[in-house]
Amino acid sequence: MYQDFYAFKEKPFSLTPDPRFLYLSKQHQGALDHMMYGIKQKEGFMVIAGDVGTGKTTLSRCLLDRLDRKVEVALILNPMLSDMDLLRTCVHDLRVPRLHQRRNRVLVGASHQEGEQGQESRPVEIEIELEDPDSEWVNTASKKELLDALNAFLLAQHNAGKSTVLIIDEAQNLPLDVLEQLRILSNLETEKEKLLQIIFVGQLELNDKLKLPELKQLNQRISIRYEIGPLSFEESKNYINHRLLVAGASSRVVFAPGTLKEIYQYSKGYPRLINLVCDRTLLAGFNAQADTLDRSHARQGIRSLLGEEDQNYFLKRFIKVRLPLIVSILFFIGGLAFFILSQMDLNLKSGLSSILSVTREYVKAELPPSATPVKVSLPEAARPPSTPAAAVQPQGESPVENIQEPVQEGVRDPTEPQPAPVAGIAPEGTVANVTNGMAKGFYRIHVDSLKTQTEAEDEVKALAEKGFNSFWKTAVTGGQEWYVVYVGPFEDARNAKIHLNALKFAGWKPILLSVSKAG
């Protein structure tokens, strides 16, 4: 369809192994050089291995074109044969004549056959008929007749200064008994060189197969090994341009750089896949009547090759290609967010420390030194009804929201002797230089209500480490004794609320800001 539109003399990306279209990359040239060397030096076995679609068959056809007339070649493309079928095919392709034993014969060589025990070996003449009128004899000949005829033919070739090569394509499919038969054929040799060169051309599994214990002898006889890999991106571009040039030097089609990248990403450099994608890309360009094939034409061609299970190919490829970039961006955003939050946290802590420092200095300046801790007791009749621990509040306290100004009552002179504590009432814990300050002010912040004195003292200690002046008192409600932890005292509500906010910033959850009527 597109051949006339783009002025091609023939299809540039046909899958047939035409040696004219072979692009000799560095690897393909190396494989060809190794095979030519092995044939020239008359090596025994050679192995050319490569993945599916790397151009092995086309390379074999190219080898046939480069060999001179002194080399007789048999090319076997279907190795799924028995040992007898393979031997017959080899004899037929080499046009081996039938071996006759009669007077009218021509001597072409000789070998030695061992005599009976105690007798000297005697020469045995091997003769062939110069013209073979019936080549169908190979179908009825026995294995011995085939081997004798082949041996005579190889000797005749050798005496004439010629070589014989057997190339087996798809050699990874050869059965084990056939491989053993080929090893036996390699025993056809003179004292100095092999009479038959055998080249195995196959997929990478061939190397694994040759490592089997049953094929140890054959594997040891392989003198040349070469592996063909996929093309690089530059080689893929040159490959496409080479085939376009062979198909029609005057063609007007142009593959855009993005198109070449798209083709390479799909084909991974395998020539067979390159041919398929380029053929479909040309078809898409023809449908669009476009001289320049862009990336959209290549993608359209790739979609036509994909099955239903591979329809998400482009999405998967996008995720695979872009995933490292996406992960890097996410890590960068996460690191940036962590840095910003860390800076905000440092600024917050710095501001909180400044507030606490100013507050401590203000309280110390306003409150007189403590003399003796104040003892507070609650008469039995004045005990409030049972309430939750968080709401425990000693008698004489009122929430600050309900009181405009504190009422100073029962202020005790520090010089007066203190009354003895009432029986059954536990003493309160204090922080130094704090509780006596309540004589001047009664605002205090209810921080926690605990069941044991140890817990209360630990809480007071923790508050003190953060810079808060704190103390605890006991209160009994519903028959349960509680240890109530406070921060304060403060002379006015403004100062108390500053400390209330500071407690929240420091991680505490103040329960109540209250005013004590009894101090």
Q: For residue range 24-59, what is the model confidence (pLDDT) as tens digits? A: 999 999 999 999 999 999 988 999 999 999 999 999
Q: What pLDDT digit, counting tens, does each position of 146-177 carry? A: 999 999 999 999 999 999 999 999 999 999 99
Chain-centroid distance of CA 114 in Å reads 65
Mean pLDDT of 427-456: 63
Confidence of residue 15 (pLDDT cuts 50, 70, 90): very high
Residue 489 lies in a domain: yes
Residue 341 lies in a domain: no
What is the pLDDT, as a whole number, of residue 227? 96
Could you tell me if 395 and 478 lie in one domain? yes
Angle value at C-alpha 374, between 363 and 497, nearest 5 degrees: 35
Higher pLDDT, 62 or 364: 62
Could you tell me if 81 and 160 lie in one domain? yes
Could you tell me if 243 and 212 lie in one domain? no
Name which of 350, 334, 391, 335 is nearest 510 in CA terms.
391
Enter the pTM of the model.
0.57
CATH of the domain at 75: 3.40.50.300
What is the pLDDT, as a whole number, of residue 444? 85
Could you tell me if 204 and 57 lie in one domain? yes
Q: What is the CA radius of gyration of the chain?
A: 51
Could you tell me if 72 and 42 lie in one domain? yes
CA pair distance 182, 218, nearest whole angstrom: 9
End-to-end CA distance of the chain: 105
Mean pLDDT of 96-115: 54
- Beta-carbon count within 10 A of 354 CB: 10
**Run of H or E residues at 350:** helix 313-366
Could you tell me if 109 and 240 lie in one domain? no
Residue 387 lies in a domain: yes
Mean pLDDT of 97-102: 69
What is the pLDDT, as a whole number, of residue 232? 96
Could you tell me if 127 and 184 lie in one domain? yes
Q: What pLDDT digit, counting tens, does each position of 289-311 carry? A: 999 999 999 999 999 888 655 55
Residue 416, CA distances (Å) to 58, 374, 377, 413 in order: 117, 12, 18, 6
Residue 471 lies in a domain: yes
Residues 462, 485: contact at Cβ < 8 Å?
Answer: no
* DSSP label at residue 42: T
The letter for the amino acid at 405 is E
CA pair distance 482, 519, nearest whole angstrom: 18
Q: Among the residues of 160-232, which ranges form H helices? A: 176-185, 205-210, 216-220
The letter for the amino acid at 444 is R
Q: What is the DSSP string of 315-348?
A: HHHHHHHHHHHHHHHHHHHHHHHHHHHHHHHHHH
Confidence of residue 344 (pLDDT cuts 50, 70, 90): confident
Q: What pLDDT digit, counting tens, does each position of 371-397 carry? A: 344 343 333 433 344 344 444 555 555
Among candidate residues 183, 211, 228, the one where a domain is terminated: 228
Residue 394 lies in a domain: yes
Among candidate residues 175, 196, 228, the one where a domain is terminated: 228
What is the pLDDT, as a whole number, of residue 324? 73
Residue 323 lies in a domain: no
Could you tell me if 191 and 252 lie in one domain? no
Phi and psi angles of residue 449, each rounded to the nearest 5 degrees, phi first: -125, 120
Among candidate residues 228, 245, 278, the one where a domain is terminated: 228
CA pair distance 480, 14, nearest whole angstrom: 96
Q: Which of 206-210, 232-236, 251-255, 412-416 has the lowest mean pLDDT?
A: 412-416
What is the pLDDT, as a whole number, of residue 346? 62
Could you tell me if 447 and 428 lie in one domain? yes
The pLDDT of residue 511 is above 80: no
Name which of 338, 345, 384, 44 is nearest 195 in CA terms.
44
Could you tell me if 81 and 199 lie in one domain? yes
Residue 128, CA distances (Å) to 72, 101, 131, 459 in order: 17, 8, 9, 115
Residue 362 lies in a domain: no
Longest dimension (CA), the chain: 156
The pLDDT of residue 420 is above 50: no
Residue 239, CA distances (Å) to 99, 309, 431, 472, 517 in order: 48, 30, 89, 89, 98
- Beta-carbon count within 10 A of 504 CB: 12
Angle value at C-alpha 238, between 232 and 244, nearest 5 degrees: 135
Q: What percent of the chain has pLDDT over 70?
A: 70
Could you tell me if 243 and 124 lie in one domain? no
What is the pLDDT, as a whole number, of residue 505? 82
Q: What percent of the chain has pLDDT over 90?
A: 44
What is the pLDDT, as a whole number, of residue 317? 56
Provide the domain count of the chain. 3
Give the position of tokens 């501001």. 351
Q: Give me the domain span that covers residue 407.
A: 367-414+421-516
Could you tell me if 221 and 237 lie in one domain? no
What is the pLDDT, as a whole number, of residue 193? 87
What is the pLDDT, as a whole number, of residue 310? 58
Higher pLDDT, 339 or 402: 339
Residue 503 lies in a domain: yes
CATH of the domain at 487: 3.30.70.1070
Q: What pLDDT digit, counting tens, does each position of 443-484 carry? A: 888 888 888 999 999 989 989 988 888 889 888 877 888 899
What SS3 state is found at 446? strand
